[in-house]
Every structure is written in structure tokens, then in C-alpha cells.
A and B are shown apart, each in its own frame.
Chain A
């Protein structure tokens, strides 16, 4: 199975700053089938990015995804107060699907 490793584990930033989150796969993710999710306490995850760089419906343009092969990045250009949450990457290019362990973005 494809193991996804996210870094850093925790990112401490202030509102207005830029956040850069990394997701590295143990092997190439086929067709860049990689997604990013945001999860806030007590809530279900929300899809942000699919196919590495495509924003899901209703996602603000301060969120962007990039990367290919085995290295992927989620960038939040200017953190808003509501962006402080846990972020997960997930690959769906090869069965079984797998998630990374998450990156917490904290104030």
C-alpha cells in the first residue's frame, strides 16, 4: 500500500501568514490522484483539493494544491481564523486508499 507521510506534524502560525504543508508518498501516486481535507474538532472532514491541484466546490482561492509523482503540497496563502484545523492528504491512485497522519495548523 502507499504510505503517505505529512510534515510538519504541527505548524504554529498567525492569521495572515502563509502555510505550506507537505505530503510525501512512499511511491508514485498514479495520475496525481491526491486529495486534501480539512477537519475541525467535532466535525467531519471537508474536501479542499482533488487531483493534486483542483479546488473543490466552494473552497476559497487562498487554498491551493501542487505537486506530482510522490511529492505534494497544500498552500494556504493568508491564514484566516477559520483555517486553524487539522489537514489530511489522501491518495486514491492505488488500492487501498490511504490517508496521511495529518498536520495540525495552530495559532
Chain B
């Protein structure tokens, strides 16, 4: 079945880095734009980034531009989010989602906690 599974979250100290992964299955990953979205505890959804099907089209939210880097490996059906210079404000559940006229498939999310 169509599925997205995020991984790589955890507890990180302020100023640290982390790389999140999203493994896709059940569909032709290389045909779709993909998104990263996050949700801080008790807060709403915040779109972070999208990447085009071949990896050449990329966009970031202003709040993360320069600290976050999105990438993909279509051969491995995988999406990535490299996060640098983490702060407490980055504490959130991070979701990946397939883009197809709205975000029609979501993973369950991976939790990133930034704390000393």
C-alpha cells in the first residue's frame, strides 16, 4: 500500500544537527513532488519545504531557509531533511507528505526535541 515512514528524530542539544529521512513505498516516488511539514507541541501545521520530482525545484519557508536542506534519492525512494543549528523553536513532529493537488499521503511523523 501507499506509505511514507519518517525516521531520524530524537533528542538534540541546541546548536546541533540532525538528518531526517522519509521512506516511500507503494507508489512511483520519482513522479511526485514531496513536502516536509512540522507541528510544534500544541500548535498548528507549518509547511517547511518542497522538492520537485527530479530534485531540481526546491522551496523553503522563510523561517527555515538557510538552516534546512531538503534532498531526495529517487533510486532509494527516499526523501531527506538536513537540519542545522537547532534551537528549542525547532522542537516538533516532522511529517513528510506526497504532493498531488494538496498533500494526499502523509507519514506518521518523527519527533525532534531540542533541549540541553
| Chain B: number of interface residues, binned into ranges | 20 to 34
Indicate whether A46 reaches chain B with its CB closer than 8 angstroms.
yes
Tell me whether B45 and A102 are in contact (CB under 8 A).
yes
Indicate whether A90 reaches chain B with its CB closer than 8 angstroms.
yes
How far does the alpha carbon of A92 sit from the alpha carbon of B103 in the complex, in Å? 10
How far does the alpha carbon of A62 sit from the alpha carbon of B62 in the complex, in Å? 36
Indicate whether A51 reaches chain B with its CB closer than 8 angstroms.
yes
Tell me whether A90 and B47 are in contact (CB under 8 A).
yes
Tell me whether B62 and A35 are in contact (CB under 8 A).
no
Tell me whether B102 and A56 are in contact (CB under 8 A).
yes
Tell me whether B60 and A92 are in contact (CB under 8 A).
no
Nearest CB on B from A37, distance (A)? 8
Nearest chain-B residue to A86 (Cβ)?
B44
Indicate whether A45 reaches chain B with its CB closer than 8 angstroms.
yes
In chain A, positions 54-107 with a C-beta closer than 8 Å to chain B are 54, 56-57, 86, 88, 90, 92, 95-102
Q: Could you list which residues of chain B lie within 8 angstroms of chain A, going by C-beta atoms? A: 35, 37, 44-47, 50, 59-62, 95, 99, 101-104, 106-109
